[in-house]
Structures are given as C-alpha cells and as structure tokens.
Amino acid sequence: MKTFKEYVNEGFKQKVFTYTINGMEKNFSIGKNTRASALKEGEPYFYMTKNNTPYFMIFTGFSDAEQKYGESGPVFKDLKSLMKKYGAKKVEELEDLDSSREDAEHGMHPYMCGIFYENEESEGSQGCYVYLYNKKWSVGSGAEVIRFFEAEEV
C-alpha cells in the first residue's frame, strides 16, 4: 500500500508544468531525485519543500564566501570546484565558513544561485537564494529543507 506522500509525489511527477524561458514556452515534468553535487550549470531542475510544493529553477552555480548572502552571484559552476576552493571535504563544512574565518561576518558562506520561478506564470528571478542550514540545503526565512529533482522536458 502506498503512503499519502507517495501518491502526492506520483501526482506531481505525472503533471506537466509550463514555464516561459527566454521568451519561449517549455514544458517540463518532474524526473528522478538528484543531489546538489549533480546539478549542472544552465540546466533546469525542480526542488520541493517539506510540504511537497514543487518549484522550478535553472541552476547557474554557487556564490563564493567573500560577500554576504551570495551577493557575488554565481562564481563556481559546480559544487566540486566550490569545495576545492575552500578546502572542504564535506558539504557541511561550507556552512561554517562565516564563523571559521576571522574576517568573515554572518552570511559570508556560499549560496546556490539560479533563476527561480515561483509558479508557472512568473518570469523567473535571478539570485542566490538557497543556502546550507543545519547541514541541509534550505530556502526562505524559515530555512525550509529542500530536495532536488531533474526537470525533464516533454
């Protein structure tokens, strides 16, 4: 017997979402689960919060830890190069960059950047809004933990 969560996820995976990207309408469905380490620059993805609301994004990279709250914009095209720059062996170590350096202030750690679409009608907002909190990728002022999914063009 399937759980309620499995039914919800199946329903979203069968739904087709339409977004306007660079002036062209494109249709996507939610694909398989993926990790932040597998995200590729310029590729579309879905992410879901705990309440299973799907959001759409085009991944543009990771910010550095030299400016607060990802203000540098995308500097690294993948997680591997970001971790190499800061000598991190685990992703969780990136979260503590603002407290482990003498010159750093709160918020001076890497953020995930992209073009984020609130819903199918939105045009997308470019920024670095995803951050590590308690060793998990999170969004919003409530630090909602998110999961990533491939976006399959249909």
pLDDT tens-place string over residues 87-118: 888 888 887 765 555 565 667 789 999 999 98
Amino acid letter, residue 3: T
User: In the chain, where are the structural domains located?
Assistant: 4-153
pTM score over 0.75: yes
Contact yes or no for 137/110 (Cβ under 8 A): no
Within 10 angstroms of residue 79's Cβ, the number of other Cβ atoms is 20
Q: Residues with Cβ < 8 Å from 8, sequence gap 6 or more?
A: 52
